[in-house]
Chains A and B, each alone.
Chain A
Amino acid sequence: MIRGLALIFALLAMPLPAAAHKVIFAIFKSGDVVEGELGFSNGDMSSGAVIEAFDSAGNKIGEAITDADGFFVYAPTQAITHIFKADMGAGHVAEAEMTADDIADILGVAAAEETVAKSTTPASPTATGGVTVASLSSEERLAIAEAVRDEMRPLRRELAAYREKNDLQTILGGLGYIFGLFGLYFYIAARRRMEG
C-alpha cells in the first residue's frame, strides 16, 4: 500500500513543478524593438513562454516567445498602445503596457536611423571636416547600443529583484497594523460588553 502510494507520488512528481511566487514581467524600449523579460521573483526565468501582444481594444496583434533567459523581443509595426500578456499557467499571469508614445518613439527612432545611415555613409568621404561623431557608422552605433544594453541587463534584473524584496521594516509595519487592528477591535468589543 505504502509502496504503491510512493510509486504514484514518484510518477506524479516526474514533471517537476515550477509553481509558486510572484511573476516578474518587465518591458523596455530597446533600439527599434520592445524587449522584455519574464520570470519568477525567486530568480527563475521563464523560458519558452508565449508573450501575446494586444492593442488597447483587446485585439491580438502579435506574439513573442521567451528564450532560455526569459528574454523576448517584439518588433512593433503600428504606433499604438501595446499590452503584453504572459500566462504561465497555474494562475501565474502578468500584464505590462507600453504606451503609444513609446511605441512611436521606437518606430520613429528606427525609421530615422535608417535614413541617417543611408545619407551619411555616402556623404562622409566628401565631408572632411574631421567631425568625429560622423565617423561612427550605423553598425558601430548599433554595436555600442547592443553593448550598453548587455551591460544594463544585470542591473535591470537586480533592480527588479530588489523591488521584490521584503525588508524587515515592512514586516514589522504589517505586524503593527495587525496588533493595532485587533487591539481596536478588542477595545470596541470590551466597551460594548461594559455597556451591555
Chain B
Amino acid sequence: MHIVDGALSNPVVIAGTAMAIGGIAMGLKQLTLERIPATGILSASFFVAALIHVPIGPSSVHLVLNGLAGLILGWAAFPALFVGLLLQTVFFGFGGVTVIGVNLLNIAAPAVLAWLLFGRLVERGTPMSGAIWAGVGGAFSIAATTICVAFSLALTGDEFIPAAKLVLLAHIPVMVIEALLTGAAVYLVRQVRPDLFTAVKGVAP
C-alpha cells in the first residue's frame, strides 16, 4: 500500500506529486470551518488504522480506512489523508518521503471517487441502506487503491497484471473488514448524529 523510495521512476513520482498537490488544493478549498473537526478525526483514524494488522496466511495486511474518510469528507479527504500519511512516513517509516505524492494519490483519489459514486446514496434513504452503500464504498476504495498501486508500479516497469493480482488478492480480507467498519461507522453516525453529513457539507465560507 505504501510505496517506498526508489521503487518508482522519476516521471511517475513527479506526475503523482503534481496531481496530489492539485488534490490537496481542491480539498483545502472545500475545507470549511464546519468540516475541520471531522477532517481531523478522520485524519487521526487513518493514521492509526495502518497499525492494525490483519493476519492472512503467512503474511498480514493493514487497514486503510480511506473509504470512510472519502465518504464523509469528499475532496477534503486529500488534506486529511495527506497529514496522516505524512506522519506515518515520518514516524513509522511507511513508504518513502519522495513518493509521498504518489502514495497520497493512490489512497485519496479512490476515496474521492468512492464519494462521487456512493456519497449521495450513503446520505439518503434509511440508515441501514446508507450503511450498506457505505460498505460498498469502503470495499471499493480499497480495491481501487490496490489497482492504483499496481498501476503506479506498472508505469515503472513491473508487470501490471501479476502485480495487481498480488496486491488485490492480499487485500480481499481488508476489503471485507473495511466494508463492515465503514458500514458500521456510517450506520452509527446516521443514527446518532444524522446532521453530520449535512453539517459537513456546510455553507461556503
- Write the residues of chain A forming the contact surface with B, with a CB cutoff of 8 angstroms: 9, 12-13, 16-23, 40, 42, 44, 89-95, 164, 166, 170-171, 173-175, 177-179, 181-183, 185-186, 189-190, 192-193, 196
Any A CB within 8 A of the CB of B177:
no
Query: A42 with B60: in contact, given A22-B94, A178-B43, A182-B39 (CB under 8 Å)?
Result: yes
The residues in B between 164 and 199 inclusive whose CB is less than 8 angstroms from any CB of A are: 165-167, 169-170, 172
24 contacts between A and B (CB under 8 A): A9-B169, A12-B165, A12-B169, A17-B167, A17-B170, A19-B170, A20-B59, A21-B59, A21-B60, A23-B4, A42-B53, A89-B166, A90-B150, A90-B153, A90-B166, A94-B4, A95-B6, A175-B47, A178-B40, A178-B44, A182-B37, A182-B40, A193-B33, A193-B205
Q: Give a binary string over B72-103; 1 marks a CB under 8 Å from any A CB, 0 the rest.
A: 00000000000110011001111000000000
Does B47 contact A174, Cβ atoms closer than 8 Å? yes
By secondary structure, the B interface counts as helix
Please give the distance in Å from A21's CB to the nearest CB on chain B.
Answer: 7
Interface mask (B34-76 → A, CB under 8 Å = 1, otherwise 0): 0011011001100110010100011111100000000000000
Residues B59 and A174 in contact, CB atoms below 8 Å apart:
no
In the bound complex, residues from chain B placing their C-beta under 8 Å from that of A175 are: 44, 47-48
B150 to chain A, nearest CB (A): 8
Q: How many A-B residue pairs have CB under 8 A?
A: 119
> Which among B88, B91, B149, B162 is the interface contact of A173 at CB below 8 angstroms?
B91
What is the CA–CA distance of A180 and B20 in the complex, to the nearest angstrom? Answer: 23
Task: Compute how far the CA of A149 lies from the CA of B24 in the bound complex, rounded to whole angstroms.
Answer: 50
Residues of B with C-beta under 8 A to A22: 4, 93-94
Contact A186–B167 (Cβ < 8 Å): no
Total residues of chain B contacting the partner, CB 8 A: 47
B residues in contact with A182, CB < 8 Å: 36-37, 39-40, 43, 83
CB pair A44 B4 closer than 8 Å: no
Chain A residue numbers with a CB within 8 Å of B84 are 178
Residue B117, interface by CB 8 Å: no
Verify if B18 is at the interface (C-beta below 8 Å from A): no
Contact in complex: B40, A183 (CB < 8 Å): yes
- Tell me if B4 and A179 are in contact (CB < 8 A): no
A43–B60 CA distance with the chains assembled, in angstroms? 11
With most chain B CB atoms within 10 A of its CB, the pick from A20, A42, A94, A171 is A20
Q: A95-B6, A185-B36 are in contact. Are A90 and B60 (CB under 8 A)?
A: no
Residues of A within 8 Å of B33, CB to CB, are: 186, 189-190, 193
Chain A CB within 8 A of B163 CB:
yes
Contact string against A for B residues 99-141, beta-carbon threshold 8 Å, 1 for contact and 0 otherwise: 0000000000000000000000000000000000000000000
